[in-house]
Structure 1
Amino acid sequence: MAATEISVDHIARVEGHGDIRLVIEDGQVTTCEMAVVEPARLFESMVRGRSFEEVPYIASRVCGICSSSHVVTDLRAIEQVFGVEVTDRTEALRELLLYGSYLQNHGTHLFVFAAPDFLGHKSVFPLAEGNPELFERALGLKALGNELCTLVGGRSIHPITAVVGGFTHEISADEYLRLAEAMDATREFALASVDLFRDFDTVDVQTEGDLLAMVAPDAYPVCTSDTLRFVRAGYDFSAQDVEEEIEEYPVGHSAAFLARARRTGHPYMTAALARVNASWDALSKDARYAAAKAGLRPPEYNPFANNIAQAVELVDVLDRCAALCRRLAANEFEGGSEPVKFDVRAGRGVGFTEAPRGALFHILDIDEGGRVRRASIMTPTAQNIANLEADMRQLAEKMAAGGYDTDLITLEVEKLVRAYDPCLSCSVH
């Protein structure tokens, strides 16, 4: 039997540029490659020799959607080196800033990138024409994320108010209350989004890799914990040990490093699906109910379910942001948000946050003058690619065994890639 070759150059509706190559012979996948073809962006070299004050602004340029996550992650690394402890109010503001990027990212991914797959469209434009109300409300969701990032971070991308030890500016109580009301008004659409993605048909594929997410007792953390969990393997570790626990390695077909757990040798997925699996009990009441109604309960290992997990997180984020805004307006958090005093010193720090697409790490070595000696960035997409390739292989073999034609296998593989919500530009950092 002749080999079946599937090649997709510059896969559509993802951030950045990547190619897919599959070869299927006698029902077995002999070649499976998710090739990131982005050129090196050299952010790690760019910050070397720079003052710590410049680094977060440079690192925010890694991504136009997750720029808030890169800033906060860098700040956490720097603060570990200098021994800075921020106030509860600053932590709350950082959560709001990250949640703004969740609204931006999930709204874009679900309705612009993913939804056309399940509605028989090749782009978002037929969706916008056929269901303008859905499209406008989706854009409104992203606009709310933009507004949240602007009010908390100073602008919608590449925030400028978040600095080492605190914030340089904060909005008024009235503005917080107005934001809380906007979050409440958007919740109905977010709940409907979970139902929408619940009704989309997907192939039953169970990833054989692990799931990695930030964890904390009785919390659904995004930037307030230093602990990670491999859900399937069942062990936790500190973000400070990330280079000992996670191995990055090169492959010939991709410009991005791939990743695997050192203890098990297994690839893994870090994403909304990992967070929901790791912290299901800490989701807001509405989000947990919506997830259960959609059939999303731990353990859930179908990577296509990441779309539903992102929709569930939209509900959770709106609930959390409304509560945070009301508490900030009422001055319920200890301390102010002004930057605390600190002394510059040498050392190594690992910043860790949950970016919208998954676990994000910034490792910084800083000298006694406050300049960076070494920097390393581990983005969610770079960590996900090895597991994505394994899932692509499993999906293609399952469909080939079921007698599906090449066009349908190609479509489902593309849908799988988009379900991972990759940012291929960020993966080469």
Structure 2
Amino acid sequence: MSKTAISVDHVARIEGHGDIRLVIENGEVTSCELAVVEPARLFESMVRGRYFEEVPYIASRVCGICSSSHVVTDLRAIEQAFGVEVSDRTRALRELLVYGSYLQNHATHLFVFAAPDFLGHKSVFPLADANPELFDDALSLKALGNELCTKVGGRSIHPITAVVGGFTHEISSDEYLELAEKLEAAQPFALAAVDLFNDFDVIDVQTEGDMLAMVAPGAYPVIDSDTARFVRSGVEFDAARVDEAIEEYAVGHSAAFCARVRATGAPYMTAALARINASWSELSRTARFAAAKAGLRPPEYNPFANNVAQAVEIVDALERCAALCRRLAEPAGAAFAGSSEPAAFEVRAGRGVGFTEAPRGALFHELELDDDGRVLRASIMTPTAQNIANLEADMRQLAGKLVSAGESQEVIQLEVEKLVRAYDPCLSCSVH
């Protein structure tokens, strides 16, 4: 009897801490686990009893990269509970804020975490030495995301200007135009990044799970829809009924919850790749052309393609945000109806479910509030927690394919690690 165990303690170049455990017996993968080894952080308990105004600032600490998404998601939940309608201008600013975190996250993941895998390096430092121009351009792109978040949200992480009903501050028209010029200037590098990641060789693995993304007619939505779609099955549901569509469950080998489609018990993936599968035709013209040139068009179910999908989303975000900034620079009321000043509202008891597309995928926040606006119950469903079960299934499939091909233990380990990184997991978020 032949038995091989592959163990990776603390997978490198991902957010958070997790271990890989693979067991191969007689040419078959008999066990495949991604063990999240971080302790529970208890954010859902932490906000219980807190006044609604405090909750977005607390929830933003779930993630330093996706903090804007957590704030906006909480705000949407609170506004749903209170019956608050926000202006078109507020929606535009929230979109800018979330897209700023896309630029931060995607640039970091692609060039610091993923690129060394394909360029023969064990970390980003040899890459910086070998190709300083590429490294500097990548850091400039991330810095641009930081600046966008700072200008709109008041600081680069854990934004402070976004509040229930609107924003407490806006930058000047000249600052909007300056941002637009910087976003447009970054476009050539973003297009080159799509070509770069498309040129990397990846193994042909087709995920067997579904994919989940926000959808809306005629839009590539990230903050402004309550409709989620399982892409493969075509089943849609309202975010307010997320508990009826998605089941969270615990496993013995990991501190994180996993998730599955409640109706079928099947795992699923939520990520940039899911969004592009769901709304490819609604990408900006430049991004859609770049995606088509890279061969990325629906249906695409190779999880390694999430790297290319993130590069395409950078192109899309730069163009979309530059246009938003130019419209926001126009005289008040010319491009967007209403003001971004916080709308009036009355505190009342209620339940709300906020839903956004964070950089890593679908994000849900459920809040129940009492008559005084204090939290009775909170539930957070992060992208990585939703992805873990599907990632384990893809790891198992990939390892089995490599074992059948007679690959060495070293190759199997490397390719499985590359797959984990392609999912862009945040294991700290998964134990929120």
Whether 1:369 and 2:372 are equivalent positions in the alignment is yes
Corresponding residue for 1:412?
415
Q: Match of 2:110, SS?
A: helix
Equivalent residue number for residue 133 of structure 1: 133
- Displacement of 1:347 in angstroms is 0.9
CA distance in 2, matches of 1:28, 1:385: 22
Query: Which amino acid is 1:355 matched to?
Result: A
Does 2:110 align with 1:118? Answer: no
CA distance in 1 between counterparts of 2:108 and 2:233 reads 32
**Secondary structure of 2:364's partner?**
strand
* Distance in 1 of aligned mates of 2:182 and 2:26: 55
Output the amino acid matched with 2:347: V
Residue 421 of structure 1: aligned partner: 424
Q: Structure 1: how far apart are the matches of 2:354 and 2:202?
A: 36
Distance 1:76 1:291 in 2: 31
The residue number in structure 1 matching 2:17 is: 17
**How far apart are 1:126 and its partner, in Å?**
0.5
Query: What one-letter code is carried by the residue in structure 1 that aligns with 2:110?
Result: L
**What is the alpha-carbon distance in structure 2 between the residues aligned to residue 4 and residue 102 of structure 1?**
39
Output the amino acid matched with 1:21: R
Give the aligned partner of residue 176 of structure 1: 176
Kindly state the Cα deviation for residue 393 of structure 1 after the two structures are TM-superposed: 0.3
Partner of 1:398: 401
Can you give the 5+ residue segments of structure 1 that lack an aligned partner in the other structure? Answer: none
Alpha-carbon distance in 2 for matches of 1:262, 1:87: 35
Q: Following the alignment from structure 1 to structure 2, what is the Cα–Cα distance between the partners of residues 38 and 120?
A: 29
Query: Which amino acid counterpart does residue 401 of structure 1 have in structure 2?
Result: S
What per-residue deviation string (whole Å, max 9, x for no partner) do you get for residues 44-83 of structure 1?
Answer: 0100000000000000000000000000000000000000
SS in structure 2 of the partner of residue 54 of structure 1? helix
Match of 1:89 in 2: 89
Is 340-349 or 21-30 further displaced after alignment?
Answer: 21-30
1:395 partner amino acid: L
Q: Report the counterpart of residue 75 of structure 1 in structure 2.
A: 75
| 3-state SS, counterpart of residue 52 of structure 2 | coil
1:218 and 2:218 matched: yes
Matched residue SS, 1:29: strand
How far 1:170 moved relative to its partner? 0.2
C-alpha separation in 1, matches of 2:201 and 2:39: 36
SS of the aligned residue for 1:53 comes to helix
2: CA distance, partners of 1:41 / 1:257: 12
Task: Provide the C-alpha distance between the structure 2 equivalents of 1:27 and 1:178, rounded to a whole number of angstroms.
Answer: 59
One-letter identity of the residue aligned with 1:119: L
Please state how far the C-alpha of 1:4 moved relative to its aligned partner.
1.3
Give the C-alpha shift of residue 217 in structure 1: 0.3
Deviation at residue 292 of structure 1 after TM alignment: 0.7
| 1:234 Cα offset (Å) | 1.1
Q: What displacement does 1:25 show?
A: 1.2
Residue 384 (str. 1) matches residue 419 (str. 2): no
Once residues 69 and 335 of structure 1 are traced to their aligned partners in structure 2, the CA distance between those partners, rounded to angstroms, is 23
Secondary structure of 2:30 counterpart:
strand
Residue 343 of structure 1 is matched in structure 2 by 346
> Residues 172-219 of structure 1, C-alpha deviation per residue, up to 9 Å, x if partnerless?
011000100001000000000000000000000000000000000010
1:382-401 C-alpha deviation (Å, 9 max, x unpaired): 00000000000000000000
* Partner Cα distance (1:263, 1:285) in 2: 36
Counterpart Cα distance in 1 of 2:254 and 2:289: 40
Secondary structure of the residue aligned to 1:338 is coil
1:230-309 equivalence runs, <5 A: 230-309=230-309
How far apart, in 1, do the equivalents of 2:425 and 2:27 lie? 27
Distance 1:396 1:31 in 2: 10
Does 2:62 correspond to 1:59? no
Counterpart Cα distance in 1 of 2:362 and 2:182: 28
- What is the alpha-carbon distance in structure 1 between the residues aligned to residue 364 and residue 386 of structure 2? 11
Cα distance in 2, alignment partners of residues 402 and 4 from structure 1: 16
Distance 2:384 2:94 in 1: 22
CA distance in 1, matches of 2:399, 2:26: 12
Once residues 29 and 207 of structure 2 are traced to their aligned partners in structure 1, the CA distance between those partners, rounded to angstroms, is 16
In structure 2, C-alpha distance between the alignment counterparts of 1:75 and 1:120, rounded to whole Å: 43
| CA–CA distance in structure 2, aligned partners of residues 222 and 176 of structure 1 | 21
- d(CA) in 2 for partners of 1:84, 1:28: 55
Task: Return structure 1 stretches of 4+ with deviation > 4 angstroms.
Answer: none
Give the whole-Å Cα distance in 1 for the aligned partners of 2:291 and 2:270: 19
Question: Residue 27 of structure 2 corresponds to which residue in structure 1?
Answer: 27
| Residue aligned with 2:228, SS | strand
The TM-score with structure 2 as length reference comes to: 0.99
Residue 27 of structure 1 deviates from its aligned partner by 2.3
Q: TM-score, normalised by structure 1?
A: 1.00
**C-alpha distance after superposition, 1:119-150 (max 9, x if no partner):** 01000000000000000000000000000000
State whether structure 2 residue 169 is matched by structure 1 residue 166: no
What secondary structure, in the 3-state scheme, does the structure 2 residue paired with 1:61 have? helix
Question: Residue type matched to 1:97 in 2?
Answer: L
Cα displacement (A) at 1:235: 1.1
How far did 1:2 drift? 1.4
Q: CA RMSD in A?
A: 0.5
Amino acid aligned to 2:149: C
Matched to 2:245, the amino acid is: E
Write out per-residue CA displacement over residues 377-419 of structure 1, whole angstroms, 9 at most, x where no aligned residue. 0000000000000000000000000000000000000000000
Q: Which amino acid aligns with 2:337?
A: E
Q: Secondary structure at 1:259's aligned position in 2?
A: strand
- The residue that corresponds to 1:228 in the other structure is 228
What is the count of residue pairs matched by the alignment? Answer: 429
Q: What letter matches 1:13 in structure 2?
A: R
